[in-house]
Chain A
Amino acid sequence: MTAVPIESQRVTWDSARILAGARLAARRTVGPLAVLILWHLASTLQWVDPRFVPAPLTVLHSFKVWVFGPAGAGPYSGTWFMHAGNSTFRVLVGFLAAAVTGVLVGCLIGWFRLVSDLLDPIIQIIRPIPITAWVPFAVIFFGIRDGSALFLIALGAFFPIVINTAVGVAGTPKLLIRAARMLGVRSHMLLPRVALPAAMPFIFTGLRLGIGLAWVLVIVAEMMAVKSGLGFAMWDAYYFLRLDIIIASMLSVGALGFLSDLAIRLIGRWVLRWSRGL
Chain B
Amino acid sequence: MNKAFALDSVRQKSRRIVARGLCKHFTDISRQERIIALDRIDLEIGDDEFLTVLGPSGCGKTTLLNIIAGFDRPTGGDVLLDGEAILAPGPDRGVVFQEYALFPWLTVEQNIEFGLRERRVPKGQRRPRVREQIASVGLTGFEGRYPQELSGGMRQRVAIARALVNDPKILLLDEPFAALDAQTRTLMQQELLRVWSAARRTAVFITHNIEEAILLGDRVVVMTARPGRIKEIVAVNLPRPRDVTSAEFNETRRRVGSMLESEVQATFAALQSDSAR
Contact = CB atoms under 8 A, between A and B. Distances in A.
Given A1-B138, A184-B91, A179 B97 contact: yes
Range class of the B interface residue count: 35 or more
B146 A182 contact: no
A176 B101 contact: yes
Contacts of A200: 105
Given A181-B89, A183-B118, A274 B141 contact: no
B115 A183 contact: yes
A79 B167 CA distance: 67
Nearest to B163: A182
Given A1-B138, A4-B141, A5-B141, A179 B101 contact: yes
Interface string B98-113: 0101111111000000
Nearest to B162: A183
**Which among B95, B105, B146, B153 has the highest number of chain A CB atoms within 10 Å?**
B105
A169 to B, nearest CB: 14
Given A179-B101, A197-B103, A197-B105, A3 B93 contact: no
A180 B115 CA distance: 8
B104 A182 contact: no
A276 B149 CA distance: 9
Contacts of A181: 70-71, 88-89
Contacts of B139: 3
Contact of A3 (B90, B142, B191): B142
A4 B139 CA distance: 10
B4 interface: no
A176 B103 contact: yes
B123 interface: no
A274 B163 CA distance: 21
A178 interface: yes
Contacts of B133: none
Interface string A174-217: 01101111111100010001100110100000000000000000
Given A179-B97, A184-B91, A184-B115, A194 B103 contact: yes
Given A3-B138, A184-B90, A184-B118, A178 B148 contact: no
B148 A2 contact: no
Contacts of B141: 3-5
B114 interface: yes
B154 interface: yes
Contacts of A197: 103, 105
A182 B142 contact: no
B118 A274 contact: no
Nearest to B150: A3
Contacts of A198: 104-105
Interface string A239-278: 0000000000000000000000000000000000111111
**Which among B89, B147, B187 has the highest number of chain A CB atoms within 10 Å?**
B89
Interface of A is mostly: helix
Given A1-B187, A197-B105, A274-B104, A182 B95 contact: yes
Given A1-B191, A181-B88, A182-B91, A274 B148 contact: yes
Contacts, number: 83
Interface in A1-16: 1-5
Interface in B205-254: none
B74 interface: no
Given A1-B138, A3-B138, A5-B141, A175 B97 contact: yes
B119 interface: yes
B60 interface: no
A194 B146 CA distance: 16
Interface string A6-46: 00000000000000000000000000000000000000000
A5 B191 CA distance: 20
A2 B90 CA distance: 32
Interface in B159-204: 162-163, 166, 187, 191
B55 interface: no
A268 to B, nearest CB: 13
Interface in A63-77: none
Interface in B55-104: 69-71, 88-91, 93-95, 97, 99, 101-104
Interface of B: 69-71, 88-91, 93-95, 97, 99, 101-107, 114-115, 118-119, 138-139, 141-142, 145-148, 153-154, 162-163, 166, 187, 191
26 contacts: A1-B138, A1-B191, A3-B141, A5-B141, A5-B142, A175-B99, A178-B95, A179-B97, A180-B114, A181-B88, A181-B89, A182-B93, A183-B115, A183-B162, A183-B166, A184-B118, A184-B119, A185-B118, A193-B118, A198-B104, A274-B105, A274-B107, A274-B147, A275-B105, A276-B148, A277-B148
